[in-house]
Chains A and B, each alone.
Chain A
Amino acid sequence: GQNIDQPTEMTATEGAIVQINCTYQTSGFNGLFWYQQHAGEAPTFLSYNVLDGLEEKGRFSSFLSRSKGYSYLLLKELQMKDSASYLCAVWNNAGNMLTFGGGTRLMVKP
């Protein structure tokens, strides 16, 4: 089976940096995705990591450590529009499907 854990809620201040952690246990790991989901909307792709290390994309970065079963999403220069849920998801090639964690609801305050 698979188990994916991430904090339920986080609060941060506009302009600050926030790190959202995700730990996972799975067999047949073949990549980790981060998605952003605004309330009432569809999840949208943010990042994909399959090898260890940091992937940077503008204000967003994602890190993966396969040996530790750990990933984080780093959001810099927070904006009010970054208030959303952030979903960590693991691709299990054996099952050929994406399994999601419960999501972290991020609230950005002025």
Chain B
Amino acid sequence: DAGVTQSPTHLIKTRGQQVTLRCSPKSGHDTVSWYQQALGQGPQFIFQYYEEEERQRGNFPDRFSGHQFPNYSSELNVNALLLGDSALYLCASSLAARVTGELFFGEGSRLTVL
């Protein structure tokens, strides 16, 4: 049973560029949440996707956008990268049918913006 997988694991970009991060949820899960974790801090909620729609969004600018595909996998896109976007981006999957769903996290994509 594959867990949550993310790609790429590491990447380096320069300011102003755009990046796309990918996530495949744990088998059987239908909901994907994205978190940004700066060094030494807790994960900050970006948004959540369910049934191919953004269901909930945290306090992040429109430069952050996402998508969920029919197979439940998801992408996170960040446009016009800033130095402050350097962080570990975590994808977490869960099952919407569970009222208080435990999140299962991927290993993350570490983004460095130079």
Contact = CB atoms under 8 A, between A and B. Distances in A.
B100 interface: yes
Contact of A87 (B4, B43, B56, B107): B43
B108 interface: yes
Contact of B99 (A89, A93, A98): A93
Interface residues of A, number: 25
Interface stretch (A44-52, A55-63, A64-72, A74-82): A44-52
Interface residues of B, number: 24
A30 B100 CA distance: 7
A44 B4 CA distance: 12
A13 B75 CA distance: 42
Interface of B is mostly: loop
Interface of A is mostly: strand
Given A87-B43, A95-B56, A100-B42, A44 B100 contact: no
Contact of A42 (B33, B102, B108): B108
A102 B42 contact: yes
Nearest to B33: A97
A42 B9 CA distance: 12
B72 interface: no
